[in-house]
Structure 1
Amino acid sequence: MQNIRMLQQQVNSLINQARHDIYSISATSDPTAKQVKLQRIWDALTSIQFLNDLLAAHAASSISAANDRQPLNTMPVGQPISPTSANPAVAVPNQTFTIQDLANYDGKNGRPAYVAVGGVVYDVTNNRAWAAATHFGLVSGRDYTQEFASCHAGQQSILATLPVVGRLV
C-alpha cells in the first residue's frame, strides 16, 4: 500500500511540475526557454503514463491475487527501473543485433523501427514519440545510448514502456 501512495505522490508531483511549466510558457517570449519547458512537459507526461500503467498493473494483479488467494508481488518503489525490473516476467529476447543489422530496422517500406540504448534493442514502431520512425531529428535503426543519456538522464521509465527485441553486440 505504501508503494501505491509513493507512485501516486510521484504522479501528483509530475502533474504539478507540468502545470507550472505550462504557466511559465505563457509568461515567456524566449523560444529556447519555451522549448525546454515543452520537453519537460513531454517527459512528465511520458512518466505519468508509465506510472499509470504500473498502477493499472498493480490493480489488475490485486484483483487476480484476490481471486487466486495468492500474495501480490509488487515492484519496490525508489529503485532504478530497467526494462526487466519494470516487468520481471518479460525477459530480454536472445536475438542479437550488430550495428549493421540494426540499420535495417529503420521503419521504412513496412519494416519495423528499432533503436538501441545501453546495449538493449527496443521496438519503437508503434510509439507515438517515434512517429514516422523519427524522434526530434533522430532516425530509427541506430544506437542512441549517448543521446538518451544526455536528454533523458534518470528517466529509465521511458525505456521500460518499450518492447525489448534483443541485444546490441
Structure 2
Amino acid sequence: MKEITRQQLALRNGQDKPEVWIAYKGIIYEVTQSRLWKTGKHYEHWAGQDLTEELKDAPHTEKVFEKFSPIGRLI
C-alpha cells in the first residue's frame, strides 16, 4: 500500500487539491465522490486529516469506512 505523509494528506482537504482524503486508524481513504464530503467538510469534521479520535463523537461506527476505497497508509 502506498505510504502517505500527514503533509500529503493535509493537501487533500477539498480546497487545495481536487481529491478529498481522510485517515482512520492509519489508513487513508478516498472520499472525493461522497456527497457528504464534497466541500471537504462533513458536519464539524474536516478532510485532509486523521479522524481516528473524532469517530467516537460520530453517530455511526467505523463500518462507514467500508464504503470507501483505501488508497494508502499514513506514515
Shorter-chain TM-score: which interval? 0.7 to 0.9
8 Å CA contact 2:20–2:48 kept in 1: the answer is yes
Cα RMSD for the two superposed structures: 1.7
- CA 1:152 to 1:166, structure 2 compared with 1: closer, same or farther past 3 Å? farther
Give aligned-pair identity as a percent: 27
| 1:156 to 2:54 alignment | no
- The C-alpha deviation readout for 1:49-84, integer Å capped at 9, x for no partner, is xxxxxxxxxxxxxxxxxxxxxxxxxxxxxxxxxxxx
Q: Which runs of 5+ in 1 are unaligned?
A: 1-93
- The structure with the greater share of residues assigned to helix is 1
Greater than 6 Å deviation, 4+ residue runs: none
| 1:146 to 2:48 alignment | no
- CA 1:134 to 1:167, structure 2 compared with 1: closer, same or farther past 3 Å? same
Instruction: Give the structure 2 partner of residue 99 of structure 1.
Output: 6
Partners of 1:128 and 1:137 in 2: CA distance: 15
Partners of 1:118 and 1:152 in 2: CA distance: 18
Instruction: Give the structure 2 partner of residue 168 of structure 1.
Output: 74
* Alignment size in residue pairs: 75
TM-score, normalised by the number of residues in structure 2: 0.85
Partners of 2:30 and 2:51 in 1: CA distance: 13
| Letter paired with 2:23 | A
Q: Which runs of 5+ in 2 are unaligned?
A: none
Please report how far the alpha carbon of residue 152 of structure 1 lies from its aligned counterpart in structure 2 after TM superposition.
4.7
Indicate the structure (1 or 2) with the bigger Cα radius of gyration: 1
Q: 1:119 aligns with which of 9, 26, 30?
A: 26
Per chain length, whose mean CA-contact separation is higher, i.e. which structure has more relative contact order (CA < 8 Å, sep 6+)? 2
| 1:108 to 2:15 alignment | yes
- The C-alpha deviation readout for 1:134-159, integer Å capped at 9, x for no partner, is 10122211111000133256x22201
